[in-house]
Structure 1
């Protein structure tokens, strides 16, 4: 999406024609549903600008831009080499605190571009222009001030605005970036906020005891869970249970957040008393063993229990076996929520991984330029191929038996070996020939490992021409 002339947008014309013109000028993939009140406010804005500057028709701004995958929207943005001017449009009366919060949040997202930011809001019904100060206060602004900002020297950014924003910059990990989390240098997406509001409201009115939200890797589940924990721990202590090997990642949080007690899942034992906590929250519940979950569910509790887990819908039911997710699904009183907006995870990689684990019924025409599938006839050839990828900065995993630590986190580039024990069943599910009893099937483990790749993924298929042929067709 590129910038457009707001002068052209505000000329009187049929609304349907205007929407077609806007899509044509901006290069937007879809036709924007332009709201009458917003168009009216923008017309009033342009009329005022024309009284204070002579060449309004030269202004090029990004109109109604939404950061991909985050859902964060801006009404008007002027982006130049040195500066960003953000103008939000309001038709009716809005409280100064609401305006202040919106402009502060906007500034947070815009700060990533490394330019000076000037933030304004125009309320057309009150004919009032306000701005956000450097001390985060809302003050009245005059039109000459705004016009001066819009006419400052500097070249307009003429490229696609989506290229400037990387959603990954805005979704922090409390475990990987505890300092940023503790300083509250983050905002939840609209979907995260909605789920949080529903859960906190139901807890307040004591409507339900079990809450569970799930989603693909990269949808911000851990951040949401931690934000809920922070709010619940304002007055009373809560328990945060971590599943899998997180090592020392949460030690800093443990030291600083005194009302949140951290507990690794391997310390859950029969006879433990959780009644002293206001709530119990379980991160990565898909890694929790059924026995540990049953211990938690056997507690005679009046406090809420909140689970966060990866979605595993695309894995063959036979590979799932009895696991925590299946037990949660069977609870009649559990209230479920689904996060769908992928933020951290590369959408291309995520799409491929889901299709690889369960083949789509219809042939997929999507291209996967950041995925490579190569073949090795034996261990030596596989090792040679992996060494070549080592030199390109890939992290490697040889076989699923070596993935049991679940230690890989957010690898920019990941290389994985698939050996001859993988196969596809008649329903298109990826399966694995089991050897002995395992806590987690190799396909489940593979799925969660693959989803840690952020930018590029390599599959080295070893001694398995059937799977190799399927994957080549897929890519």
Structure 2
């Protein structure tokens, strides 16, 4: 993506529309602006022209730029070495909500732009109204003259070679309630529209004291855990008392929420016949269960029956693909509708495009089934390495963790019997069961002769107490930016992984 001239941007779109040309989807994505947005941009350019005829102020803009993995979009961005100028374009707004809408967007844009280590100027042009500049210190927009903007545009030494994809680091924005707890507590994050709509429905059910069950189904990386914990935090701010259940081992972030912020949060193994009366009582305003695909049937029944008794709404958040033991994953929505038809159950889905690294998601698909994904085949963020000795791998991983910021994750083995995964389980103290619901910028893990590909190119694994395929999927879906696979003494597997890595060249 390269910067463009905004006169060209709107005139090109208008030309295609006026010629009556039906625009293919891929061309629309290239043009970046809708017809209505192009009309507002035209009015903005006319306003600039009426005050200043220097052509340079129309040049050097990224139009409709979206941050990778976030899908956060900016109408106009213009970069120099020490300054980024953001201009948002709005059709005429209702006076009653105008300032509220402008402020909310400006605040969000400032949050994303402040990580670029540049001064940030944010403007909003409202059609047939005025130009506003964001005052970040006071979190409010101020109406200004167009001349002030023009002066800043003229004085900006535009960098036409800047690549915004390299400036915006997705890990700055992908907040985990556990790995970035301070940012989570301080509300330094934003939910997508999809997440906000689900949140609104769930919170309303608490406020109206209605007995509903919400099943939030989502793939890894779509922000389901953030949404669940944001809902819990939100209803607590209104004096409600939710019960949060994590279907896995608690991590350090969980314990800090419990000990420092008094969250009523428990691991799923605390839910049993002797505890259910204490955990779920009439004082609980909502139950939120994360990673609920791993819940056992008798625990699920206890919670549902208690929620019926007290008319307590429940939120189940789950991903059927994430299982650690064969037969563990279940579709909660299908189960409840079949077994409890008297309960109002609502199925909500988080879309993939929110937080997912598209290239990484494509690689994970091909890792489990070679050639299944033909899109987003640029696998520069994935590295494949090979070692013949386990001791060398252990030393290397220790170096990567201590000196290079990588997070090693390995497989959980049985505590009672010897099994094929025992060697790999000794590589790191962090196991697949320890990282449920967490995300890490750089993840490294090891594959050995436990894994192979069949004649159809599908990944298979030896039988262990816990599913090796399920744990591998859990490991690779914890990554945000970079993934490193180390192969131990398995040349055929190494070759197949190199084939996947090279799919973009074939």
1:149 pairs with 2:152: yes
How many residues matched?
457
Separation in 1, partners of 2:373, 2:114 = 43
Structure 2 residue 448 is the aligned partner of structure 1 residue 449: no
Structure 1: distance between partners of 2:441 and 2:326: 31
User: Does the CA-based 8 Å contact 1:41-1:124 persist in structure 2?
Assistant: yes
Alpha-carbon distance in 2 for matches of 1:139, 1:355:
50
Contact 2:64-2:76 at 8 Å conserved across structures:
yes
Query: How much does 1:65 deviate?
Result: 1.8
1:189-208, aligned counterparts within 5 Å?
189-201=192-204
State whether residues 172 and 186 of structure 1, in contact with CA within 8 Å, keep that contact through their aligned partners in structure 2. yes
CA deviation digits over 1:256-300, x for unaligned, max 9? 545x41112221121413132111111222344444334323424
Correspondence 1:434 to 2:463 = yes
What are the equivalent positions in structure 2 for 1:73-84 lying under 5 Å apart?
73-84=73-84
Aligned pairs (5 A) from 1:150-169:
150-169=153-172
1:86-105 equivalent positions in 2, closer than 5 A: 86-94=86-94, 95-105=98-108
Aligned to 1:296, which of 303, 306, 313? Answer: 303
Cα separation, 2, equivalents of 1:412 and 1:169 = 10
CA positional deviation for 1:73:
1.8
What CA deviation, in whole Å up to 9, does each residue of 1:160-209 have, x standing for no partner? 32222122211211112222112111111233223323444566667763
Equivalent runs, 1:215-364 vs 2, <5 Å: 215-233=218-236, 234-255=238-259, 257-258=261-262, 260-271=263-274, 272-273=276-277, 274-275=280-281, 276-301=283-308, 302-312=311-321, 321-332=326-337, 334-341=345-352, 346-360=357-371
Q: CA RMSD in A?
A: 3.5
Farther-moved stretch of structure 1 (101-110 vs 56-65): 56-65
Gaps of 5+ in 2: 338-343, 414-424, 502-506
Deviations 1:282-336 (A, max 9, x none): 12223444443343234243111112223408x8xxx864325245542216433
Contact 1:208 1:335 in 2 (8 A): no
CA contact (8 A) 2:210 2:312 kept: no
1:176-191 equivalences in 2 (<5 Å): 176-191=179-194
| Closer/same/farther in 2, CA of residues 310 and 80 from structure 1, 3 Å limit | same
| Contact 1:8 1:57 survives alignment (8 Å) | no
Residue by residue, what CA displacement relative to the aligned partner does 1:392-443 show, whole Å, maximum 9, x if unpaired?
A: 44554565522756235545444433343435568765443335xx4x4232
3-state secondary structure, aligned to 2:31: coil
Judged with a 3 Å threshold, the aligned counterparts in structure 2 of structure 1 residues 386 and 376 are, in CA distance, closer, same or farther, namely same
User: What's the offset of the Cα at 1:62?
Assistant: 2.0
- Structure 1: give runs of 5+ residues left out of the alignment: none
- TM-score (normalizing by structure 1): 0.82
Task: Write out per-residue CA displacement over residues 330-369 of structure 1, whole angstroms, 9 at most, x where no aligned residue.
Answer: 2216433333336665433332223223444588893534
C-alpha contact (below 8 Å) 1:210/1:306 kept by paired residues: yes
CA distance in 2, matches of 1:10, 1:386: 57
Range 154-163 or range 96-105, more displaced: 154-163
The answer to whether the 8 A contact 2:214-2:347 is kept is yes
